[in-house]
Amino acid sequence: MSLDVRKLGDALGAEIVGFDLLRDLNEDTAAEINHVWAENCVLCFRDQQSLNPKSFLTLARIFGDVQPQLATSKEYSVPEVPDVGILSNRQTDPVSGAKIMRGGSWHTDHSHSAKPPRGTILHALEIPDKGGDTLFANCRTAYHDLPDNLKKFVGDRKAHHVYLSSRSPRKMPTLRDHEKHLDKGAWHPLARTHPVTNEKSIYLNPIRNEAVEGLETEQGFSLLDDLLTHATQQKYQYSHKWHLGDVIIWDNRSTLHAANFDYDQTQHRLMHRVMIAGEATY
């Protein structure tokens, strides 16, 4: 079948219209879907209420191998399908007891890993009556638009990513003893090359960046702040208004994203999440 692709925003994002992920998925459509995803960075499938955790995990594999969820505790994953994570505004930190507000600032997922996930997929199971949009920023176009002198200064520099930066705008779930090995950190290029499109993107993470190669601490932070301000300008953004049953996949290699908590917190916002394993950065 030929895919019906509709742009979601001027900056990035596309919807594959009228596609049933249980009925219409095959080898040919999977290849075309991956092509559309690489070109548009964010991909949406509407009205996928028929998916359950097992079928959601199965469809995720068309984008690559599944990456296990970072948190191993049962609070954050579906018990019978542990590679499917649970994102809910009713979750609390099992150590501190504090409410967890996931994703409420610009970031890319799990960048402290040596091989960060190439993509993240969410399935909307419960949504508030209004609000709760997710913002996406096109870091590929943002890099392309950088002034030449700043591109040259960024060059091949790398930034250090850790589990939780000392200047993070928000807290992360507390790592327990059996999870602390996850906090080794990794160095990734500030201008990351996409292995499919071969285009560069700004690659940073305010939650996790702790240093920039070859720069004093404050100079490095200043560069990171300048790049973030540039990459998250309105002209590079798409704001996704969720509908029940939406499946969204975004490319962590070429985007930043942020959740919005402008909704009634007495209403439940519940998503299932699968992450797609990535490759070494360059």
Domain holding 260: CATH number?
Answer: 3.60.130.10
Say if 211 falls within a structural domain. Answer: yes
- Note the pLDDT tens digit of each residue in 146-193: 999 999 999 999 999 998 888 877 666 666 666 666 667 999 999 999
Tokens of residue 166, six digits: 């000392």
The range of the structural domain enclosing residue 179 comes to 5-276
pTM of structure: 0.93
Say if 281 falls within a structural domain. Answer: no
Q: Single out the residue of 126, 121, 112 nearest to residue 159, CA to CA.
A: 112
Tokens of residue 54, six digits: 């097992």
Say if 199 falls within a structural domain. Answer: yes
For residues 67 and 278, is the Cβ–Cβ distance under 8 A? Answer: yes
For residues 138 and 254, is the Cβ–Cβ distance under 8 A? Answer: yes
Q: Which residues of the chain fall short of a pLDDT of 70?
A: 70-74, 170-183
Please give the pLDDT value at position 74.
Answer: 64
Please give the pLDDT value at position 173.
Answer: 64
Tokens of residue 85, six digits: 């994570």
B/e letters for 187-220, b = 16+ CB within 10 Å, e = fewer, are: ebbbbbebeeeeebbbbbbbbbbbbbeebeeeeb
Say if 252 falls within a structural domain. Answer: yes
Say if 136 falls within a structural domain. Answer: yes
Q: In the chain, how many domains are there?
A: 1
Please give the pLDDT value at position 72.
Answer: 46
Say if 171 falls within a structural domain. Answer: yes
Run of H or E including 200: strand 200-202
Please give the pLDDT value at position 75.
Answer: 73
Say if 282 falls within a structural domain. Answer: no
For residues 87 and 71, is the Cβ–Cβ distance under 8 A? Answer: no
Say if 122 falls within a structural domain. Answer: yes
B/e letters for 141-160, b = 16+ CB within 10 Å, e = fewer, are: bbbeebeeeeeeebeebbbb
d(CA 100, CA 88): 8
Please give the pLDDT value at position 4.
Answer: 98
